[in-house]
Amino acid sequence: MTPAARLSAAIEVLGDIAGRRRPAADALKDWGLAHRFAGSGDRAAIASLVYDALRRRASAAWIMGEDTPRAVLIGSLRLQRGLASPTIAALLTGERFAPPPLTQDERERLDTASLADAPPHIAGDVPDWVLPSLAGALGADLLAELRALARRAPLDIRVNSLKVAREAVREALAHLAPEPTPHAPCGLRVPIGEDGRGPALHVEPEFLEGWFEIQDEGSQLAAGLAGAVPGATVVDLCAGGGGKTLALAALMRNEGRLVATDDDPRRLAPIHERLRRSGAAAEVRTPRGGRGRADVMADLDGQADLVLVDAPCTGSGTWRRNPDAKWRLRPGSLATRVAEQHAVLDRAARLLKPGGRLAYVTCSLLPEENDDAVTGLLVRRGDLAVAPLDLPPSLAAATRRTRHGLQMTPATTGTDGFYVAGLVLRGS
Question: What is the set of active-site residues?
Answer: 363
Distance, in Å, from the CA atom of 279 to the CA atom of 188, rounded to the nearest integer, reads 20
Asked if 253 contacts 278 with a C-beta cutoff of 8 angstroms, the reply is no
Length of the chain: 428
Q: Environment class of residue 361 by beta-carbon count within 10 Å: exposed (0-12), middle (13-18) or buried (19+)?
A: buried
Q: Catalogue the E-assigned strands of 217-341.
A: 233-236, 257-261, 283-285, 304-310
List phi, psi (to 5°) of 394: -65, -35
| Half-sphere exposure at residue 374, Cβ-oriented, CA atoms within 13 angstroms | 25
Closest to 17 measured CA to CA, from 59, 91, 77, 72:
72
Asked if 169 contacts 159 with a C-beta cutoff of 8 angstroms, the reply is yes
Distance, in Å, from the CA atom of 89 to the CA atom of 359, rounded to the nearest integer, reads 52
Q: What is the DSSP string of 322-334?
A: -HHHHHH--HHHH
Q: Residue 3: what residue type?
A: P
Determine which helix (DSSP H) or strand (DSSP E) holds 159, and give its type and residue range. Answer: strand 155-159
CA-based end-to-end distance of the chain: 68
Q: What is the DSSP string of 207-235?
A: HHTTSEEE--HHHHHHHHHT---TT-EEE
**b/e 234-246 (16+ beta carbons within 10 angstroms → b):** bbbbbbbebbbbb
Q: How many CB atoms lie within 10 A of CB 104?
A: 7
DSSP letter, residue 48: H
Q: How many CB atoms lie within 10 A of CB 88?
A: 21
Q: Environment class of residue 294 by beta-carbon count within 10 Å: exposed (0-12), middle (13-18) or buried (19+)?
A: exposed
Q: Is 301 annotated as a binding residue?
A: no
List phi, psi (to 5°) of 151: -85, 170
Going by the annotation, the residues of the binding site are 262, 310
Binding-site sequence positions for S-adenosyl-L-methionine: 262, 310
